[in-house]
Chain A
Amino acid sequence: MTLLDVDIGFHYRNGPGIECHWQDPIEGPRVTVFLGPSGSGKSTVLRCLAGLERPQRGYVRFGDRIWFDAARGVNVSPDRRNLGVLFQDYALFPHLTVERNVAFGAYGLAQSEVARRVTELIDVFQLQGLESRLPRQLSGGQQQRVALARAVFRRPMLLLLDEPLSALDRATGDEMREELGKLIRVLGIPTYIVSHNRADALALADRTVLLDEGRIIQRGTTQDVFDAPTSSAAARLVGVDTILLGRIASIDNGLARVTVGSQEVRVAPPAEVGHEVALCVRAEDVTIARHDAVDLSAVNHWRAVVRANTQEGPLVRVVLDCGFRLSALVTRDAWQRLELKSGDGAWAIVKATTIRALPRN
């Protein structure tokens, strides 16, 4: 086990600064997601780790190596840190074929070893038949796989991914997110991911670090961070809507039953039985009823207790306790009609198709 010990201060000439301090044991295929809005400094933190940016203050230590130390004037260049970096737009070399992109880091390796690794990576990343294509002849998903294969060619000690899915449209992104999770497990390389999309943290991260205005505002296991944001800024980042973590108990008739605590949620299956999933329920997709209705198409009916009501402009946010905390957004008119008060019993009704389900690896 290696300890990554970071304490850096980075200040733009006339902008806000970054002050980050954290320690992380680096081991196995553990994934840490740095989650933050754009401008929160998360990409800069990643670039400081990679050695592409030089902080004004502090140090970056990886095990017994010192990558950066402002006081001692140490700054190891990126090519000597043995990291794999995946850039946001992949940064594939446009003049080199897929094969030569993948083997770009072959410098200093024996020919036979290079050939062996290329074959292995082409296989793992399913790039067969694309070896002699140029990057511009590839789809976004293929480009990402080439970039990742290239990044791991030298067997890096740490993988850094900068917004790995933001260059893809949402459907491809969802597909690639799942694939990326599997690949990281297969590669077994500890990974840091920078993202503004909480789906990335929910689907990929063992641990989540929340970053806001250049400061780490919360870090911990993904479950803990999403369950219990410790500040309003953290709550804004993880989203005020409902996120449920559970496991697929069964799938029948094309519908998965996901166990969430003692409750059951039915959704379109994002993965096989037994898989961990994250379910995202938007507050405006929740219907509240005084009594359970039987002749509705919506399949999720949960008995609930009203816990809180907050006005949000023309809408009212109702927090329900269904065995898990569920946030609902209804019009003020509907809210008055139902006469919902704290402690009242009610039913929460959600269509399976409105719940976004993400497989967790």
Chain B
Amino acid sequence: MDWVAVGLTLKLAAITTLILAVVGLPLAYWLATTNRTWRPIVDAVVAVPLLLPPTVLGFYFLVATGPDTFVGRFYAFVFSGTIPFSFAGVLLASVLYNLPFAVRPFASGFAAVDRRLIEASRCLGASAPRTFATVVVPLSWPSVLTGLVLAFAHTVGEFGVVLMVGGNIPGVTRTIALAIYDDVQALDYAGANQASAVLLVFAVSVLAVTYSLQRRVVPV
């Protein structure tokens, strides 16, 4: 087992999930409660990584964040480095690529919360963020947890985007999925088999936990 790759993978997945919680929860709440005309466009942008090959996302990400772009120069000015082929770059691409896996479960959970309870909370003096924390999330936590678990698990198993954006730099951007690819290229089937088995068991258990959570309905 390539323990460096395992550690890097877990770190990437954990930080990605954390960022998705901070960004994705409000975004999902907005999507679940708004009926503005351009909501379908935001919905589509959030969901597009589900259909797009990771290479396409990775390609545009590289084009948009290269050292000569505005984003690239700004990043170099602040952190004196480049986004492509760095951990930060992989992390950012990973957040974008995993957006639907977190936001869609969040949003469907929030949409299922009775609007009247939200209105009641507002009429009882609670602001929108307070209502979100004390009414919406407690009533939709299985969906929130599902979204976080799926985002984490999906990041662990990510391949294309990491390869496109991060290259394959040991200790920096080489995750477990890339390590398996390298093992197979090097005809090290034993190493590939070991890591693959771990990922398989991990994926199946995560899905089992997720589905059992979804069956749990908050009794009303």
Contact = CB atoms under 8 A, between A and B. Distances in A.
**Real complex partners, A and B?**
yes
Contacts of B114: 91
A77 B134 CA distance: 18
Contact of B126 (A79, A82, A83, A95): A79
Interface residues of B, number: 21
Interface in B95-148: 114, 116-117, 119-128, 130, 134-135, 138-139
A239 B123 CA distance: 34
B123 A52 contact: yes
Interface residues of A, number: 26
Nearest to B119: A52
A83 B123 CA distance: 7
B198 interface: no
Contacts of A12: none
Give the interface centre of A78, A151, A153, A154 by most chain B CB atoms within 10 Å.
A78
Interface in A83-116: 83-85, 87, 89, 91, 93-95, 104-105, 107-108
Given A107-B130, A136-B220, A91 B116 contact: yes
A83 B219 CA distance: 29
Does more than half of chain B's interface fall in helix, strand or loop, or is it mixed? helix
B123 A93 contact: no
A45 to B, nearest CB: 15
Given A105-B126, A107-B126, A107-B130, A87 B121 contact: no
A105 B125 CA distance: 6
A360 interface: no
14 contacts: A77-B128, A79-B123, A79-B126, A79-B127, A82-B125, A85-B120, A85-B123, A91-B114, A93-B117, A94-B139, A94-B218, A94-B219, A107-B125, A136-B219
What 5 pairs between A and B have smallest CB-CB spacing? A91-B120, A85-B123, A78-B122, A91-B116, A105-B124
